Amino acid sequence: MTDDDPRTGRVRCATHGDSAPAYVCGHLARGDGRAFFHADDDPGNPRPDAWCDACERLRVACGGRWTEEAEASLGVRLLCGGCYDGIRARVPSGMG
């Protein structure tokens, strides 16, 4: 359970407390993702936007871009950074 606070750009998580925000697809957030992909256009971001194998297949089918259709199936969820780290540690990387 997270609470978005747009004034601070932080999220408050019942487990991790006050944390940096991170975005993942709804499947990863629910624990449904079988592989972990993430954006690599911002190497300075420790928690780039992430998505699962199913979303990656759709993105590739859409020409490797986040079209409206691909984004709609993402169902992006805001997570706390600690929860993001937990998912990343649990789900095998699909990158390279």
Q: Which residue's structure tokens are 């006050």?
A: 18
Residues 4-33 as x/- pattern, contact with Zn ion by CB under 5 A: ---------x-xx--------x-x------
Only segment of 35-43, 60-68, 80-88 that touches Zn ion (CB under 5 A): 80-88
From the centroid of its chain, how far is CA 64? 17
Residue 55, interface with Zn ion (CB under 5 A)? yes
Q: Tell me 79's DSSP state.
A: E
d(C-alpha 78, C-alpha 22), whole Å: 6
Q: Which is nearer to Zn ion, 1 or 43 (CB)?
A: 1
The three-class DSSP label of residue 44 is: coil
Residues that bind Zn ion (CB under 5 A): 13, 15-16, 25, 27, 51-52, 55, 80, 82-83
